[in-house]
Copies of this chain bind each other. A is one copy, B any other.
């Protein structure tokens, strides 16, 4: 599994033995689109690394409205962080949007690796730092930008996702209804002409 190793070695370098030890703790799974890997109420046991395909994490509030927390495509990690670290029942769905090959790292194996290969604890520290910064920026964007500006940023940040996923998912990610998203999109088109 070269992709996951490569992505780690962008931040820390591993010896061949360390790579082997690491690889021995991983599990590979193939999943079809629409598969639900995790549902609210369940305890998240894995960090998922995406070799190919697209996943999303989202929740559903009382009104049956979905809200997307994260998309993950090739080279990204996804999971229910809250449930994973607390080992309590989570609030998120994790769903496969496009047929995917995933690398699974169980909570226990991850903890073991932290002590067996401290460089991996560093890697995950850095990974989570970057994720925190991204979430902080998205939070501030939601507080200060209009829907159109958020959409604009989304297009620039995830240009490849636009083709791959239904636009209602993007609407949900930027925090508007599919109807408003559609209205907004046609307004943008008109203004460009």
Q: Which residues of A come within 8 Å of B, CB atoms?
A: 59, 61, 65, 67, 69, 81-82, 85, 91, 114, 118, 121-122, 124-126, 128-133, 135-140, 142-145, 175
Cβ A81 vs Cβ B133 within 8 A: yes
Distance in angstroms from A103 CB to nearest chain B CB is 20
A67 / chain B contacts, CB cutoff of 8 Å: 140, 143-144
Cβ B139 vs Cβ A139 within 8 A: yes
A144 / chain B contacts, CB cutoff of 8 Å: 59, 61, 65, 67
Docked pose: A133 CA to B82 CA in angstroms: 6
Cβ A132 vs Cβ B139 within 8 A: no
A138 / chain B contacts, CB cutoff of 8 Å: 139
Distance in angstroms from A152 CB to nearest chain B CB is 15
Residue in B85, B139, B140, B175 whose beta carbon sits within 8 Å of that of A129 in the complex: B85
Distance in angstroms from A26 CB to nearest chain B CB is 20
Distance in angstroms from A107 CB to nearest chain B CB is 12
Cβ A69 vs Cβ B139 within 8 A: yes
Residue in B61, B122, B143 whose beta carbon sits within 8 Å of that of A142 in the complex: B143
